[in-house]
Amino acid sequence: MIIKNVVSNQCVKVSYLYLPFHYKPKSFIIMKTTDNKSGNKNGKVKAKSSAAEGLRELFIDELKDIIYAERALVKALPKMAKNATEPKLVAAIEEHVSVTQGQVERLDKIFEILGESNRGKKCDAMEGLIKEGESIMEETEAGPVRDAGIISASQKIEHYEIASYGTLAAFAKTLGEDEVASLLEATLAEEKEADSLLTESAYNSINFDAAEAE
């Protein structure tokens, strides 16, 4: 609750106000207030001044997001490979490093086609997924249990990328950017293949070895 002094025009916020029932304030007006940091009672988010106003702007913004994510992944994958022990899993991660580098190059080409800067925009989602992967490695002993954790973290990353590239390809088609859509679909196919390989590795031996380690 806020009490406003009409004479001094100053407001004082109080939790409770005790007044006699018959009291009729002359110089104070009691006003109700609701604490809301966003300044919005219905939960709607106020757009930034730089917010995208059209699908093309959103498309470019999302491309900048994913190229940042892929560049971050190129740096993170070698650490996962170094901490994995199952040979096939190590090989799959190492191979995906080169695949991811190719995907970055493909995105560079897309930005060139669109006549846009390939400067990335921090991807909070990928930052979080990579951090979670590092946390899993820290919380597991080297061997099948850690391998299972690495597969879990890797598949979360793959699923995020699959969703991202699927959406971007759809945006490109809607915008009539067929060449760009084709390039994005090529990456989408690679991400789906990587996810399948991880699933195969998990069910062939790693998950079962991890279960026996208990």
Give the residue numbers spanning the domain of 7.
2-31
**Residue 46 included in any domain:** no
Is the distance from CB of 147 to CB of 91 less than 8 angstroms? Answer: no
State whether 131 and 204 are in the same domain: yes
Query: d(Cα 173, Cα 19) in Å, to the nearest integer?
Result: 67
- 118 is a domain residue: yes
87: how many CB neighbours lie within 10 A of its CB? 8
Q: Tens of pLDDT along the chain (214 residues)?
A: 554 454 455 554 544 444 444 445 444 444 544 445 544 667 888 877 666 679 999 999 999 999 999 999 999 999 999 999 999 899 999 999 999 999 999 999 999 999 999 999 999 999 999 999 999 999 999 999 999 999 999 999 999 999 999 999 999 999 999 999 999 999 999 999 999 988 887 767 666 666 766 6
Query: How many other CB atoms are found less than 10 A from the CB of residue 193?
Result: 13
Residue 41: inside a domain, yes or no? no
Tokens representing residue 164 in the block: 């991202």
How far is the C-alpha of 190 from the C-alpha of 146, rounded, in Å? Answer: 25
Other Cβ atoms within 10 Å of 164 Cβ, number: 23
Q: Is there a single domain that holds both residue 82 and residue 183?
A: yes
Residue 66 lies in a domain: yes
Output the six-digit token pair for 52: 């995208």
98 and 178 housed in the same domain = yes
CATH number, domain with residue 65: 1.20.1260.10
User: Does 18 share its domain with 80?
Assistant: no
- 88 shares its domain with 19: no
Task: Supply the pLDDT for residue 29.
Answer: 47
Residue 42, domain member (yes or no) = no
The span from the CA of 102 to the CA of 96, in Å, is 10
Q: Considering the entire predicted model, what is its pTM?
A: 0.75
Could you tell me if 100 and 169 lie in one domain?
A: yes
For the chain, what is the domain count?
2
- Same domain, yes or no, for 116 and 200? yes
89/159 same-domain check = yes
Q: Which residues pair with 2 in a beta bridge?
A: 13, 31
The answer to the question of residue 120 being in a domain is yes
Rounded Cα distance, 106 and 205, in Å = 34
Residue 184 in contact with residue 110, Cβ under 8 Å?
A: yes
Task: Tell whether 13 and 62 lie within a shared domain.
Answer: no
47-to-38, 64, 85, 123 alpha-carbon distances in Å:
12, 19, 47, 18
Q: Are 113 and 16 within one domain?
A: no
Q: Is residue 74, in this structure, part of any structural domain at all?
A: yes
Residue type, 81: A
Residue 157 located in a structural domain:
yes
Looking at the structure, do residues 94 and 197 belong to the same domain, yes or no? yes
Count of alpha carbons within 13 angstroms of residue 124, beta-carbon side: 0
Same domain for 20 and 97, yes or no, is: no
pLDDT at 11: 53
